Structure 1
Amino acid sequence: MNRAVIRDELCRGLLGGLALLALTLPPAGAYRPDAASVSPAAHRTGALRRADFGRVAPGPEARELADWIAASNDNAGAAFAIVDKREATVFVFDAQARHRGSSPALLGSARGDDTVEGIGTRPIALVRPEERTTPAGRFVAERGRNARGEDVVWVDYDAAVSMHRVLTTDPSERRLQRLASPSADDRRISYGCINLPVAFYEAHVRPAFAQPGGVIYVMPESRPIRQVFGSYDVGAAPR
């Protein structure tokens, strides 16, 4: 594969020392714990661990997913982030499922939860509008650097999708203004990458994924979350 091809202007670069991640957690989509992975005693006593959002009020599906991650330990004791595509919002949690920060995000302009095979090797000019999706799923975060030497967090390296500081190289896209918009629709502008405010990236994303093993959950917008993650409603977990 030609690793020099750049997508979303900067979303391609060096990937060093990250093969160890494959040993830390299962590959994206491979680990689907069910109710059996949670202690039966926890079901009996109602002591299931839930995510702590603090004063933040997420949507019901984001809360359900976060609670399931906490109860099932799907994050394998690592920090994690949830990307709510419908709300174009990112939530960052520590290893104990405690909310550390959330922010609006810019996402792929095309609706959908899948990527086209081989899209990460194409020049950006050849990525069609309908192919500019942010893929849904469970991804082991991979830290790396882009073509400008800036650090990014790879979500899906083969598809050239990363989480990074907002790009402002094309003023006509008005990315900073879109980030500030209350409308989630306004925040659909990228080729698939997840653009975040610089201050949020520095304060929350970099620290959360400083160590290998972090997990990024990108919620779907065309399929049920339980179908994508094998999750369940912790409040209605089997006994």
Structure 2
Amino acid sequence: MLIIGAATAGTALSLAAVTSGPPVLSAASVSSSSARVRASTRSADFGQESPSPDARHVADWIADSRDNANADFIIVDKRDAKAYVFDAEARLRGASAVLLGAALGDDSVPGIGSRPIAEVRPEERTTPAGRFVAERGRNLKGDDVVWVDYEAAVSMHRVLTTKPSERRLERLATPTVDDNRISYGCINVPVAFYEAYVRPTVATRRAIVYVLPDIKPVQQIFHSYDVTAVRRQASNRATGDPLSTR
């Protein structure tokens, strides 16, 4: 995390997790939804990437439900320590390994954004999960960042190398995810990836950032539904398969 206490510097940007917006379907309600009987569904295009099942699930749900409201979006898969940048039509633009909060957890401690960084305990250094409206801004040092959760002082920014002992560049380069937990909660990305994909995504308009959970089920965080199941049910109905009515 670049800073703790960002919320005390300047006017807040109102970038807290979105709790309202375009209607979405929960797994419980999908059986009565028109989504079940649609003739076709939409899926995300990951190109040559092989995402985790959770990342695929959320990306396909975003594509099908249009939860992104015609905005470009970024998925941060914490379990896989990877970020995916998509255009508004759910086509992948770029993907990269990322560094995340040192502590496992899906929630920020209340008020953490206004506390000095020295007072943040190790177990509080989490990257919160959820759906966030992101926007470019600057930290107290004047560096441009992408604010994910402004109130919690969580941003996405270029990887920090100010403490060589942390070996952040080396952590990004390893094939494992075990050493990708090092920050105070912020999402560190390679400089080239930030300049080529992250920064342009929020350069002129809002973007949505979906941070997948460490512990909680993704359906609980996003109220998402299984697009593959919806597609299968629609196909069964079209062919008159009696199993589709069960």
TM-score range, shorter chain: 0.7 to 0.9
Map 1:12-51 → 2, pairs under 5 A: 12=6, 18=13, 28-31=18-21, 33-34=24-25, 40=34, 43-44=36-37, 46-51=39-44
- Displaced runs of 4 or more, over 6 A: 13-17
CA distance in 1, matches of 2:175, 2:10: 35
Cα gap change, 1:9 to 1:169, in 2 (>3 Å): farther
Partner of 1:225: 218
Instruction: State the secondary structure of the residue aligned to 1:139.
Output: strand
CA RMSD after TM alignment:
2.5
Offset of residue 236 of structure 1: 1.2
Count of aligned pairs between the two proteins:
227
CA distance in 2, matches of 1:29, 1:105: 26
- 1:28 maps to amino acid: V
Partner of 1:4: none
Offset of residue 210 of structure 1: 1.4
Are the counterparts in 2 of residues 108 and 190 from structure 1 also a CA contact under 8 Å?
A: yes
CA distance in 1, matches of 2:12, 2:150: 14
Offset of residue 46 of structure 1: 3.9
Are the counterparts in 1 of residues 145 and 155 from structure 2 also a CA contact under 8 Å?
A: yes
Partner of 1:113: 106
Offset of residue 213 of structure 1: 2.4
Are the counterparts in 1 of residues 4 and 112 from structure 2 also a CA contact under 8 Å?
A: no
Partner of 1:153: 146
Map 1:58-73 → 2, pairs under 5 A: 58-73=51-66
Structure 2 gaps of 5+ residues are 235-246
Partner of 1:94: 87
TM-score by length of 1: 0.87
Structure 1 gaps of 5+ residues are 1-6
- 2:2 maps to amino acid: D
Identity, in percent, stands at: 60
CA distance in 1, matches of 2:116, 2:183: 15
Are the counterparts in 2 of residues 141 and 154 from structure 1 also a CA contact under 8 Å?
A: yes
Deviates more, 1:95-104 or 1:205-214: 205-214
Are the counterparts in 2 of residues 82 and 216 from structure 1 also a CA contact under 8 Å?
A: yes
- 1:204 maps to amino acid: Y
Offset of residue 165 of structure 1: 0.3
